[in-house]
Structure 1
Amino acid sequence: MTRSRTISSQDLAQFPARPLRKGTLVYRAHRLGVRPLHVYSRLDGIYDLPAPSTTTYAALDLATAMNELMAPAAGTSRTITAREAEKLVVTAMKIRRPFRLASISHAKARAFTLDGHPLSETDTLERRRAWAERLSESGFDGVVFSSRLRGSTHIVALFEKFNGSATKPPAVIHGVPTPGIEAALMSGFSVDAKHARSQIDLI
């Protein structure tokens, strides 16, 4: 049985890490007209750092990005309407520098506790944000964690600490965005051009 430890900065040197190399492609599914490199600094996301530092979320593959955005609406039928899909794109972005990420989903991560509570991906938002802040203070550049919808795939939350000047985004747009219908089909969804969402939900 793994023995849990209350974390300190020194303990976190042993926290499981995963590199994210410069040039790696990451993906964001988003609505047309919305910037793909949206960053968070208002504690809206699950691993947000407090302002003025920022956190950027992205998936490590196109299908995960699309599922994170559309799977809840698609339901068990995994069907989205053509109108819904046409309003979306998936943008690929290239990481601009190396990141050292804390691997939240790694089995060894469960050995660490914060204020007596073991690390859990289903923990409260407040506790997960506290983890993000402590990991950032200990030298990690972000976290990588399992997708809530595709457990074998991963999401990254990339930290950018405020150093007195404007922070650069962690990635740059790469290539042309994938249109929503194409991205949906690539991600295992059915696209219905005949029915509205209210009709699909009744089928």
Structure 2
Amino acid sequence: MVKRGYHHGNLAQALVDSCLELIEERGPTGFSLSEAARDAGVTPAAVYRHFQGREDLIAEAALQGYTIFAERMEAAYAGGQPSDLRAFLATGAAYLDFARDNPGHYVAMFESGISINRSSALNAAATRGLGVLERAAEDLSQHIPPHRRPPPQMFAAHVWALSHGVVELFQRGSPGTKSPYPPDDLLETGIGIYLRGLGILPPDA
């Protein structure tokens, strides 16, 4: 990795950037705080001006990730309107796009073991992003007869689980897993099957 150094007053962000690169290369537990400092071009002691330890640094990376994630999800949801179905499908696609474009953030958010309750800011950012998917699910669920309508949180959780599974197994290249179909197609068809089961899409749609 090439040492990037940092501009005066931007040490914290330089360390987060270093953390993200190390997470992409080695995973969230595969590096030390000293390595993050070295690759940012500073001494280990300098890290403690901004972060209490490695988990604190990863938590900041997760916070930044959730903020980007929320913005992406909100833009996708708004872009899919006025159709509830298009808005819902757009949020699923945005999830895959975010994971593809921001692998370090994605791992810090969902695979590092950092709780979203670690801080109020982290909880708010995570709630904002995942809340978009729940909102899209609630809108779409209104098209299901009341006696067959799942709670919006369950509806959203099913799609989140499907999206996360596609990312983990087929988009990020987990060892021993492969598919002849692109991740986007896997997610789109999987959601389609799910929506047909709920009666939102006709069998031949």
TM-score normalised per structure 2: 0.25
Higher normalized helix content (fraction of residues): 2
Higher strand share: 1
Greater gyration radius? 2
Larger RCO (alpha carbons 8 Å, 6+ apart): 1
If the length of structure 1 is used for normalisation, what is the TM-score? 0.26
